[in-house]
């Protein structure tokens, strides 16, 4: 898109208000008119809220109607009027969560224009999540984007970074100033063409964590990048593009990490290949860079451990790199980054380094199991906050929470649970009390506020995974809704997705190309009352936190895009799609014998006590409950019954199935579904196995062996009530979750 004219093209409503303002009106522009809701859509069982302006004398009822025939499918009453201070807007909430039937709808309220069309559907977020991930591809440095992958956004390669200079601030004995090194690949940070370790670390980690936590969803998220179709999920290929660059930012001599790779000044607003006259430098090492690097590499080592065929030796290499960077940071514990006088590109300066130390220690501990890292983490002193590039302690908690059941005996699991729950409880309380039903206070509206909203959602979802409190899921959904249109501007902040989206993001590729629409899938920074770009922009429509936004290319403080703002969107869409009841139950199609064997290899215990049986039993019941399913569960160790429960809707018959399925486990050592698959593979009859009496044994899925490492088979976990493959999958999911293991499903 060519540089825009001064005419601001905001959403319809705001555009009007702003037009008045620019025409000389003294009044500050208010919120966009009309009903505000998530312009993309909802999963069937999600919480679904819309905001209706609280006009005096207006009706208190709403209808949901089908988009095509205007047939009324749901009627409801609006909540009471509530003011939301960040936009000084008084609204009433329309809660239409009860509508679960897939379709396309609108909301109708007397005296208001009809709402935008929204969808309800089981796969509402797949295309958006694919686009949010594809945005990283669109920001790849050092490669041409071919039309078959980039469509109209194809472009020649820019910034190969195969010959960059060591800046005087980064000079060392072996690499004096002016030394030429290679640090190719990586993503452009944002709307600029520079590459920074601080934002790279949190972004790359968040993509790796998304895969680590929701492998099924992300394994199937195809984005049409050059690597699509290889043996590795696209999200890992994409992460690897940046890991490659990050690895090159470590000085092989001492393990220190350069803070950034940039020009001395920002490039013009042109395409990458038109912006290559300026020399590029690696600039000063910093403690924050070393620690962000260490945390990301330790995570990569763990998450990519299963990809040895594609990237031989990578797990070992990234771990070694992480440990060297950690050691360097230990020797240089207080080296904050400050731009040298001749460098004016993004600073990402951060003087508070406790959180970076905690995050790196946590990831290194999880990956290596070394107690020295747990000691360095000193978790009692670490609080939980919403992550940002300069506050990463929340990432430590989210990783610890995911891996809690396979941490060493010294790790304080109760502390992990209470930190994650404590943060979520605070956010959920804000969400409940907020007129806009979003977990954001005025002070949260900073540069990149949309990432604060999305990272808040990500942390709420960590707590939901731990304890299944529905408020946390609903609050996370609400935060997503805010970014997708339920905000005072009435805009969906993701380019190309929604009824009204940013048209002029501060993004050089979008500005330099000939395409009118900006590159799709990017989250715009969002409202930011500090307005640090005000000297370079037309006036903002308002000084209120929630309204300080300009859809203008000048506005890097409210309308830039950035990798660390897109990463939590990628995470949250996958997490909600997986965790929202009903959606997690994507019925397992089937498992090969090799997969079933792998499950038995992966899902083993270090010890199996009565408490473990109780936790797993309760987890099974909870999983079934959120999916609206009724199952009976039994867990035994050496024949002794440790857990038994029949949910409402189960029958005595299930106990007999459990007995016969678990007998098969005890006899064969394999899961009953493994035996089922084996008998079928051999062409046999599962209900008439030649060597097993059908009154005592059943080759149907649902019973899984409890194996303790070093001891062997000690018991069984059995579910009955669903088709065999689903009973089996439920046990595998519960065990994966309990053991903090991935890759079994």
Write out the catalytic residue numbers.
192, 506, 551, 560
Residue 266 binds which of ligand 9MR, ligand G3I, none (CB < 5-8 A, kind-dependent): ligand 9MR
| Site for ligand 9MR contains 266 (CB under 6 A) | yes
Contact string (CB under 6 A) for ligand 9MR, positions 455-484, x = contact: ------------------------------
Nearer to ligand G3I, 190 or 411 (CB): 190
Q: What is the DSSP letter of 649?
A: T
Distance in angstroms (rounded) separating the CA atoms of residues 488 and 32: 6
Residue sitting closest to ligand G3I (CB): 346
Residues 716 and 637: their CA atoms lie apart, in Å, by 7
Least Å from the CB of residue 432 to ligand 9MR? 34
Cβ-based nearer residue to ligand 9MR, 139 or 367 = 139
The CA-CA-CA angle for residues 674, 680, 684, to 5°, reads: 125
User: Could you tell which of ligand 9MR, ligand G3I, none binds residue 445, using a CB distance below 5 to 8 A set by kind?
Assistant: none
**Binding to ligand 9MR (CB under 6 A): which residues in 175-204?**
190-192
The 220-259 contact track toward ligand 9MR, x by CB under 6 A, reads ----------------------------------------
* Contact map string, positions 528 to 557, toward ligand 9MR, x by CB under 6 A: --------x-------------------x-
From residue 560 to residue 599, what is the string marking binding to ligand 9MR with x (rule CB under 6 A)?
A: x---------------------------------------
Interaction site with ligand G3I (CB under 6 A): 189-190, 192, 346-348, 390, 446-448, 530, 532, 556, 560, 562
φ and ψ at 425, to 5 degrees?
A: -65, -40
Of the pair 451, 635, the CB lying nearest ligand G3I is at 451
* Residue 447 binding partner per list ligand 9MR, ligand G3I, none, with a CB distance cut-off of 5 to 8 Å that depends on partner kind: ligand G3I
The answer to whether the CB of 496 falls within 8 A of the CB of 47 is no
Residue 234's binding partner among ligand G3I, ligand 9MR, none (Cβ under 5 to 8 angstroms by kind) is none
Let me know: does 93 contact 79? Beta carbons within 8 Å: yes
Q: What one-character DSSP code corresponds to residue 538? A: S
Site for ligand 9MR in 600-619 (CB under 6 A): none
Residue 258 site contact among ligand G3I, ligand 9MR, none (CB < 5 to 8 Å, cut-off depends on kind): none
Taking CB atoms, the residue at the shortest distance from ligand 9MR is: 192
Smallest gap from Cβ 281 to ligand G3I, in A, equals 15
In the complex with ligand G3I, the residue whose CB is nearer, 191 or 255, is 191
Compute the distance between CA of residue 597 and CA of residue 603 in angstroms, rounded to an integer. Answer: 10
In our burial notation (b when 16+ CB lie closer than 10 A, e otherwise), range 623-658 reads: bbebbebbbbbbbbbeeeebbeebbeebeeebbebb
Residue closer to ligand G3I by CB (options 105, 389) is 389
Q: Determine, following the binding rule CB under 6 A, whether residue 263 of this chain makes contact with ligand 9MR.
A: no
CB of 36 closer than 8 Å to CB of 484: no
CB 353 within 8 A of CB 198: no
| Residue 448 makes contact with ligand 9MR by CB under 6 A | no
Comparing CB distances to ligand G3I, the nearer of 203 and 301 is 203
Structure tokens at 47: 């919480």
Residue 183 or 190 with smaller CB distance to ligand G3I = 190
Query: Comparing C-alpha atoms, which of 541, 506, 546 is closest to residue 526?
Result: 546
> Counting contacts by CB under 6 A, is residue 346 touching ligand 9MR?
yes
Closest CB 189 distance from ligand 9MR, rounded Å: 7
CB of 191 to ligand 9MR, least distance (A): 5
The first and second tokens of residue 241, run together, are: 């593009």
Of 217 and 447, which has the nearer Cβ to ligand G3I?
447
* Residue 562 interaction partner, one of ligand 9MR, ligand G3I, none, beta carbon < 5-8 Å per kind: ligand G3I
> Which of 735, 659, 737 lies closest to 700, judged by CA?
659
* Chosen from ligand G3I, ligand 9MR, none, partner binding at 136 (C-beta under 5 to 8 Å by type): none
What number of other Cβ atoms are within 10 A of residue 144's Cβ?
15
Between 30 and 518, whose beta carbon lies closer to ligand G3I? 518
Closest distance to ligand G3I from the beta carbon of 333 (Å): 20
**Closer of 392 and 722 to ligand G3I (Cβ):** 392
How far, CA to CA in Å, does 521 sit from each of 128, 653, 729? 7, 51, 33
607's contact among ligand G3I, ligand 9MR, none, with CB below 5 to 8 A by partner kind, is none
Distances in Å between the Cα of 85 and the Cα atoms of 88, 89, 429, 436, 488 are: 4, 7, 16, 9, 11
In whole angstroms, give the CA distance from residue 359 to residue 291. 8
Got the DSSP string for 397-448?
A: HHHHHHTGGGS-TTS-HHHHHHHHHHHHHHHHHHHHH-TT--S--GGG--TT
User: Which entry of ligand G3I, ligand 9MR, none binds 390, CB below 5 to 8 A by partner kind?
Assistant: ligand G3I
Q: What is the 8-class DSSP label of residue 16?
A: H
Site size toward ligand 9MR, by CB under 6 A: 8
Among ligand G3I, ligand 9MR, none, the one that 424 touches (CB under a kind-dependent 5 to 8 A) is none
Choose among 144, 159, 89: nearest CA to 527: 89
Collapsing DSSP to helix, strand or coil, 571 comes out as helix
Please name every residue paired with 708 in a beta bridge, in sequence order, or none if there are none: 605, 712
- DSSP secondary structure string, 169-215? GG--SSS-TT-EE-----B--BSSS-EEHHHHHHHHHHHHHHHHH-H
Binding site for ligand 9MR (CB under 6 A): 190-192, 266, 346, 536, 556, 560
């Amino acid at each position: 898109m060519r540089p825009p004219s001064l005419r601001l093209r905001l959403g319809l409503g705001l555009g009007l208000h702003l037009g008045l303002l620019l025409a000389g009106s003294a009044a500050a522009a208010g919120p966009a008119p009309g009903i505000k809701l998530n312009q993309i859509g909802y999963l069937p069982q999600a919480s679904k809220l819309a905001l209706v302006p609280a006009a005096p004398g207006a009706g208190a009822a709403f209808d949901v109607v089908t988009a095509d025939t205007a047939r009324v499918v749901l009627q409801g009453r609006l909540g009471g009027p509530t003011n939301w201070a960040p936009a000084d807007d008084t609204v009433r909430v329309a809660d239409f969560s009860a509508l679960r039937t897939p379709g396309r709808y609108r909301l109708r309220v007397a005296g208001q224009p009809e709402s935008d069309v929204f969808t309800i559907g089981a796969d509402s977020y797949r295309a958006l999540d694919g686009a949010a991930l594809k945005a990283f591809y669109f920001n790849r440095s050092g490669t041409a984007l071919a039309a078959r992958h980039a469509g109209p956004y194809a472009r020649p390669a820019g910034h190969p970074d195969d010959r960059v200079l060591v800046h005087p601030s980064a000079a060392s004995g072996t690499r004096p100033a002016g030394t030429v090194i290679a640090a190719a690949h990586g993503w452009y940070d944002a709307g600029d063409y520079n590459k920074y370790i601080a934002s790279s670390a949190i972004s790359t980690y968040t993509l790796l964590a998304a895969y680590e936590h929701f492998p099924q969803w992300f394994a199937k998220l195809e984005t049409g990048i050059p690597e699509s179709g290889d043996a590795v999920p696209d999200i890992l290929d994409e992460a690897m593009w940046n890991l490659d660059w990050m690895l090159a930012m470590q000085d092989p001599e001492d393990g220190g990490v350069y803070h950034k790779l940039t020009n001395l000044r920002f490039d013009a607003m042109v395409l990458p290949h038109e912006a290559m006259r300026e020399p590029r430098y690696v600039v000063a090492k910093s403690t924050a860079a070393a620690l962000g690097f260490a945390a990301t590499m330790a995570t990569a080592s763990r998450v990519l451990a299963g990809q040895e065929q594609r990237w031989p030796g990578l797990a070992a290499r990234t771990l070694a790199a992480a440990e060297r960077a950690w050691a360097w940071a230990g020797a240089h514990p207080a080296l904050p980054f400050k731009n040298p006088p001749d460098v004016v590109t993004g600073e990402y300066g951060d003087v508070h380094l406790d959180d970076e130390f905690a995050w790196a220690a946590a990831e290194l501990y999880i990956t290596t199991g070394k107690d020295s890292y747990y000691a360095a983490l000193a978790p009692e002193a670490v609080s939980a906050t919403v992550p940002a590039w300069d506050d990463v302690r929340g990432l430590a908690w989210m990783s610890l929470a995911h891996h809690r059941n396979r941490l060493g005996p010294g790790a304080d699991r109760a502390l992990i649970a209470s930190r994650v729950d404590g943060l979520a409880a605070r956010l959920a309380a804000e969400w409940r009390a907020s007129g806009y039903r979003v977990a954001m206070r005025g002070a949260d509206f900073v540069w990149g506020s949309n990432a604060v909203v999305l990272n808040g959602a990500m942390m709420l979802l960590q707590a939901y995974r731990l304890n299944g409190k529905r408020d946390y899921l609903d609050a996370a959904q609400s935060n997503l809704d805010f970014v997708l249109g339920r905000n005072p501007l009435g805009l969906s902040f993701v380019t190309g997705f929604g009824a009204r989206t940013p048209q002029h993001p501060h993004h050089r590729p979008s500005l330099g190309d000939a395409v009118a629409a900006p590159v799709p899938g990017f989250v715009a920074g969002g409202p930011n009352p500090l307005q640090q770009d005000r000297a370079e922009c037309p006036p903002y429509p308002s000084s209120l936190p929630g309204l300080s936004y300009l859809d203008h290319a000048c506005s890097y403080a409210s309308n830039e895009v950035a990798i660390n703002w897109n990463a939590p969107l990628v995470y949250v869409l996958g997490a909600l799609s997986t965790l929202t009841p009903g959606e997690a139950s994507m019925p397992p199609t089937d498992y090969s014998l090799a997969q079933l064997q792998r499950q038995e290899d992966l899902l083993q215990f270090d010890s199996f006590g009565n408490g473990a049986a109780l936790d797993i039993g309760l987890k099974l019941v909870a999983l079934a409950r959120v999916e609206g399913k009724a199952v009976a569960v039994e867990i035994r160790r050496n024949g002794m019954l440790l857990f038994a429960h029949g949910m409402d809707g189960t029958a005595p018959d299930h106990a007999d199935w459990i007995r016969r399925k678990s007998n098969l486990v005890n006899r064969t050592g394999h899961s009953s579904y493994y035996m089922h698959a084996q008998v079928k593979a051999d062409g046999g009859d599962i209900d008439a196995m030649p060597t097993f009496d059908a009154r005592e044994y059943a080759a149907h899925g649902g019973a899984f062996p409890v194996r303790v490492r070093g001891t062997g088979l000690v018991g069984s976990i059995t579910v009955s009530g669903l088709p065999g493959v689903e009973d089996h999958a439920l046990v595998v999911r519960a065990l994966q979750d309990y053991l903090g293991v991935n890759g079994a499903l």
